[in-house]
Chain A
Amino acid sequence: MSDRRGLGTVLLRVFRYRNGDGAPRYDEFRVPVGPRTTVLDALLGVRRRQDPTLTLRHSCLHASCGTCGMRVNGQEVLACVTRLDGLGDRVVVEPLAGAPVVGDLVVDMEGFYGRLEPSGRPLLRASELADLERFEDCIECGLCLSACPVVATDPHYLGPAALAAAGRLLEEPRGADREAVLGWVDDAHGAWRCHAAFECSEVCPAGVDPAGAIMRLRRRLLRDRLSRLAGLHDREARP
């Protein structure tokens, strides 16, 4: 399909919800698309030319701030680096899942940060330990929580981002209380709620591999539990 400028067009079906509405709806917008047009480009174009009330969040425009997370055709992505070319003639755009919708494509991230804070999230800095997945890469975009099938049904689950942060802290505590963090994740709604779907690691735009971190946490918890059962280690003697 081409308009008179020779560019293709795509039909966007965009989730709309306003405070006070009875139910959400989907609005359709036909947008011009070139080979490099991103979802964010198209949405900002909709705001400029078709419907200025469309609400969304973005900032850096190059996948380093994590602000523009949303679902495109059901999959969690950062809109600023997701090209429309190749996604088909009709593209469904929805907010991240599992978080309350504030308006249209904007969700309340309080739940995400509420989980992350108690992990004692380490500050960004370069790490000398080469073989670690650098959790410093986490841009707190929330795509992992939206994709996780357990977060979808368990409001108490700590979730991939927070657990990966805890795992990172344990690898490099820098004076933080390891026991407190281990106690925090060693919970039925902590590390043990994960079911190895690995969806978080699939959608993470920053290469954090939260699922791997969760499994490494569990190996650590199991080793501690088994050695304590076998009486090999005294809790206080562990570094």
Chain B
Amino acid sequence: MATRTRPDGGSGGLKDSPPVDFTQAVGRRQPRPTVAWLAQVVSGVLLLVLMTVHMVAQHFVVEGGLRTYQDVVAWIRNPVVFAIEALLLLTVTWHGLAGVHAVLLDLGLRGRAERVVARVMRGLAVVTVVYGLWLLATIASRG
């Protein structure tokens, strides 16, 4: 049989793609995946601490669990609080978007498409952190 109709087209929806070559990357150690893994581990452990501090300090210390406007401003003006929240923002944005990137890799993202997506996500991370820091600084400067 020269051609066969297979239920999934041979690669799950990518009906016209060639068979996968599994011999790639032979002989060359790539730094990226190991470093990416380490970054997720370190940021994850950091988040376990920072997130716990954040949740306890933000919601389990104040009466009723939610601060009024005045309380928020007073709270964020504290330089230690500001620093911790800024670090949390940085860490969670990195860890979260790297995680989304990993899910896309799980769905088969590879090659040039993967490089484009990685660049977009890095850009998104920068925008998110910049906006968050600006928001923190603006509120802290009020009152």
Contact = CB atoms under 8 A, between A and B. Distances in A.
A114 B24 CA distance: 12
Given A154-B108, A155-B11, A155-B12, A108 B20 contact: no
Contacts of A114: 19-22
B19 to A, nearest CB: 7
B51 to A, nearest CB: 21
Interface string B1-41: 10011111111101000011111111111111111111000
Interface string B109-143: 01000100000000000000000000000000000
19 contacts: A100-B8, A108-B6, A114-B21, A150-B106, A153-B108, A155-B12, A155-B20, A155-B108, A180-B27, A183-B29, A186-B33, A187-B30, A188-B36, A188-B110, A192-B36, A193-B105, A193-B106, A195-B106, A221-B34
A53 B9 CA distance: 23
Contacts of A222: 34, 37-38
Q: 5 nearest interchain CB pairs?
A: A100-B6, A192-B33, A225-B34, A188-B33, A118-B23
Given A118-B26, A162-B22, A101 B105 contact: no
Interface of B: 1, 4-12, 14, 19-38, 105-108, 110, 114
Contacts of B106: 150, 153-154, 193, 195
Contacts of A58: none
Contacts of B30: 183, 186-188
B31 A225 contact: yes
A100 B106 CA distance: 19
B119 to A, nearest CB: 15
A156 B27 contact: no
Interface in A65-109: 100-102, 108
A56 interface: no
A177 B27 CA distance: 9
Contacts of A179: 27, 29
Nearest to A15: B7
A183 B27 contact: yes
Nearest to B109: A154
A192 B34 contact: yes
A180 B21 CA distance: 16
B34 A186 contact: yes
A20 interface: yes
A38 B105 CA distance: 39
Given A101-B7, A155-B20, A180-B27, 12 more contacts: A108-B10, A117-B22, A117-B23, A118-B23, A154-B105, A179-B27, A182-B29, A186-B29, A190-B33, A192-B33, A195-B106, A221-B34
A24 B7 contact: yes
A115 interface: yes
A110 B19 contact: yes
Contacts of A158: 22
A98 B60 CA distance: 47
Contacts of A224: 29
A5 to B, nearest CB: 37
Contact of B25 (A20, A108, A154, A183): A183
B35 A225 contact: yes
B143 to A, nearest CB: 45
Contacts of A135: none
A13 interface: no
Nearest to B103: A153
Interface string A149-180: 01001111010001000000000000001011
